Structure 1
Amino acid sequence: MKISDRYPIVVTEHKVACRDFWQQHFGLDVLFDSDWFVLLGDEQQGSVVAFMSPDHPSAPPGPETFGGQGLCLEIEVEDARQALADFQASDGQVDYPLSDEPFGQRRFGLRDPSGLWVDVVEQIEPQQGYWDRYMQAV
């Protein structure tokens, strides 16, 4: 199988608010937009995320309207402090403060209008010995 693109589709009644949120706070471009579906991304990464209204007849079988649980979108950045400053400068509301985690991430978190949890992370050195208990002997 040759994959030509990949992106999650979040089924939500807040398609327009999600489109506007991702444009305003993350600078994503609208790659395709209609009254029932929007695909967002940029030239370097291609497609990133899509939002679809729950009542369109082309909806694939199975996707119920997203309820805000069980899905997390990770966005890796070079500098989480700067990403946070940029996000807040565009009036973004943070739900998890900037934190240095012992497992090796500096991150902050937020929810978009669909309820999707977004974890903005920078990879940093983990706390000495943190991963030892999780490693399997070979």
Structure 2
Amino acid sequence: MKVKRIMANMATEELDKAEAFYGGILGLERLMDHGWFRTYGSDERMRVQVSFASQGGSDTPVPDFSIEVDDLEAALARFEEAGVAIEYGPVSEPWGVRRFYVRDPFGKLVNILQHE
């Protein structure tokens, strides 16, 4: 058996908030829409990964998930322009990433990062 994909599924009645955050700010495409279930993504090729942690590094809370971007400063500007509070960072971490934390509209802690 081979794992081909891992999807994060989050329960909400407010699908338009997902569109604004994941589509609008992060620029992900709506790949699937059944009305009651929407999937956002990109054509970017990604590794299948699941992480487990006792902390988020630098004594931060463990984020619900991480999103790697190609331009952290551009991502930061988009979140700031949208009025999304930055909960941690931006900071360059000793393990070679620059990152910041935000909460999505559903309260999930999201680690936005770029490898340095």
TM-score computed with the length of structure 1 as normaliser = 0.60
The code of the aligned residue for 1:104 comes to G
1:83 to 67, 75, 80: 75
| Matched-pair identity in % | 31
Larger of the two Rg values belongs to structure: 1
The code of the aligned residue for 2:37 comes to F
Cα deviation per residue 1:41-65 (whole Å; 9 max; x = unaligned)? Answer: 122248xxxxxxxxxxxxxxxxxxx
Q: More strand by proportion, 1 or 2?
A: 1
Q: Take 1:38 and 1:99, find their aligned partners in 2: how far apart are those partners?
A: 32
For the aligned residues, what is the CA RMSD?
2.5
Q: Take 1:13 and 1:98, find their aligned partners in 2: how far apart are those partners?
A: 31
- In structure 2, the CA distance between the partners of 1:83 and 1:116, relative to structure 1 (3 Å rule), is same
TM-score computed with the length of structure 2 as normaliser = 0.70
The code of the aligned residue for 1:17 comes to K
Q: Take 1:114 and 1:31, find their aligned partners in 2: how far apart are those partners?
A: 20
Q: Take 1:14 and 1:70, find their aligned partners in 2: how far apart are those partners?
A: 25
**Structure 1 residue 8, shift from structure 2 partner:** 1.0
Contact 2:26 2:75 in 1 (8 A): no
**Structure 1 residue 94, shift from structure 2 partner:** 1.8
2:85 equivalent to 1:121: no
Q: Take 1:113 and 1:28, find their aligned partners in 2: how far apart are those partners?
A: 16
What runs of 5+ residues in structure 1 fail to find an aligned partner? Answer: 47-68, 125-138
**Structure 1 residue 122, shift from structure 2 partner:** 1.9
Q: Take 1:3 and 1:102, find their aligned partners in 2: how far apart are those partners?
A: 31
Q: Take 2:69 and 2:29, find their aligned partners in 1: how far apart are those partners?
A: 18
Contact 2:87 2:102 in 1 (8 A): yes
Counting matched residue pairs gives 102
Match of 2:20 in 1: 20
What runs of 5+ residues in structure 2 fail to find an aligned partner? Answer: 47-60
Q: Take 1:76 and 1:90, find their aligned partners in 2: how far apart are those partners?
A: 19
Q: Take 1:19 and 1:85, find their aligned partners in 2: how far apart are those partners?
A: 18
Match of 1:99 in 2: 91
Q: Take 1:34 and 1:24, find their aligned partners in 2: how far apart are those partners?
A: 19
Aligned residue for 2:86, secondary structure, equals coil
Contact 1:78 1:122 in 2 (8 A): yes
